[in-house]
Structure 1
Amino acid sequence: MSSDRPSLSDLKQALKDVTDPADPRLDSLAADSRKGAQQLLGQIKRRLAKAAAAEAAFQHRLHYERPFWEQGQLVAGIDEVGRGPLAGPVVTSAVILPPDFDIPLVNDSKQLTPKERERLYPLILAQAQAVSIGIGSPQLIDQLNIYQATRVAMQRAVLGLGLAPQHLIVDAMQIPVDLPQTRLIKGDAKSASVAAASIVAKVYRDHLMATYDHLYPGYGFAQNAGYGTAEHLAGLADRGVTPIHRKTFSPVQKIIANKSRS
């Protein structure tokens, strides 16, 4: 017995571009009694619900930026990565997003996979009005301490922007610049600007540590980004301290002390 109904594979192909829950094609699908058609309808509804939730969360992450945008002001989000590692710099980023910024997946970099961060990185650079990187070297960290070196690196990121922001949104810290600042705990999960800065800083630093892995092999910098993993600690014990190690951080400090005693 022949049927004018399209095959389920044809339906799946035809409906893959549905973005609106009110799309009339979904009414036709709902009227299709085939089990496969109902399963497809369920899949589409779940996909649309997930997309709607992601969009709502993204709009919420623009909550802190909107009042400044409505006044025509530039607002920069600032975040850091690399306060905890034993090696490499602390890296900060400042990002000024436009009011029409539209990359819903931009979120706290720690909630994203490396692949997602790599994909979002060039999209952020393309849409942002200005992006800047601030570096706090291992030497600066040893000289000042990690907290103060991070503040200096954030200051460098803000001053390096090609545009002058009127307000800063910062992840928990106070930056030594003469600008009003909104300080948020876990700001990278609450503000799209801070989230964008967290992604830029993280990808930039990961690339930098992968380069250091070639310069100083045997520590696993490409995989551990300078954190004190078993591979890194074994490399320290076998090969000693490199110029990018933070000499005031405990495991590194102990190796230097042991070497000076021997």
Structure 2
Amino acid sequence: MLINNYHTGLIEAGCDEAGRGCLAGAVFAAAVILPPNYVNADLNDSKQLSEKRRYVLRDTIERDAVAWAVGVVTPEEIDEINILNASILAMHRALDQLTTRPEAVIVDGNRFKPYGSLPSVTIVKGDGKYLSIAAASILAKTYRDDYMKRLAEEYPQYDWKGNKGYPTKKHRDAIRQFGATPYHRRTFNLLGDTQLEFEFEE
């Protein structure tokens, strides 16, 4: 079972991002503050859950959370500041929108920049260890998936409904055939080596 809090006794926000490894689309991040002593045995890293289960849990998180928010950084901004900085900026933007101000921040991964004067800690695979990070991973993933499905209606040939912008063979073949769209990240290796495909989140 995942743990509720890292900073015991503080109002703590968990943060995670989605879409960092994609060739197209914005990067999304979420920040979630859960109630003290919150328990939910169903919460887990979003990558370990089915798509249907993620959306069910999104409703539960939004209902139960003390506060939650989603931040977005556009492909143009990603190209300007790089994907690491963009991922962190998306988390900061999510934190900015929280209606309850956190007293500490915990972040999935190993890189983060200070958010004001708040204490923060990075936790590798934190979305499989802490409830608030797992909740943030589910919100970031589902809201980004919704966004990519909308873009797929505009550009169906890239299979964004299926690959969500990740560098699959079908996605790269479409780039070769049709070129890049305004939603592609121009600083990324869009064509890459088709023998070395990235894993993408179902």
| TM norm structure 2 | 0.90
Deviation string 1:165-212 (CA, Å, 9 cap, x unpaired) is 001011122234121002111111111000000000000001110000
Give the 3-state SS of the residue equivalent to 2:102 in structure 1. coil
Pick one of 102, 106, 114 that aligns with 2:43: 106
Higher relative contact order (CA 8 A, sep 6+): 2
Distance 1:63 1:156, change over 3 A: closer
Pick one of 169, 176, 181 that aligns with 1:242: 181
Match of residue 218 from structure 1 = 157
Match of residue 231 from structure 1 = 170
Q: Which has the larger radius of gyration?
A: 1
Match of residue 251 from structure 1 = 190
Alignment partners' CA distance in 2, 1:193 and 1:242: 35
Match of residue 138 from structure 1 = 75
Structure 2 contact 4–39 (Cα < 8 Å) conserved = no
| TM norm structure 1 | 0.70
* 1:60-75 matched pairs, under 5 angstroms: 61-64=3-6, 67-68=8-9, 73-75=10-12
Distance 1:107 1:171, change over 3 A: same
* 1:17-96 matched pairs, under 5 angstroms: 57-58=1-2, 61-64=3-6, 67-68=8-9, 73-96=10-33
**Gaps (5+ residues) in structure 1?**
1-56, 254-262
| Residue 121 of structure 2 corresponds to residue 177 of structure 1 | no
Identity of aligned residues (%): 42
Alignment partners' CA distance in 1, 2:122 and 2:167: 29
1 or 2, which has the higher helix percentage? 1
Match of residue 260 from structure 1 = none
Deviation at 1:235, TM superposition (A): 1.4
Structure 1 contact 95–197 (Cα < 8 Å) conserved = yes
Alignment partners' CA distance in 1, 2:143 and 2:40: 19
Match of residue 138 from structure 2 = 199
RMSD of Structure 2 on Structure 1 (CA): 1.6
Structure 2 contact 24–184 (Cα < 8 Å) conserved = yes
- Following superposition, which runs of at least 4 residues in structure 1 exceed 6 angstroms of deviation? none
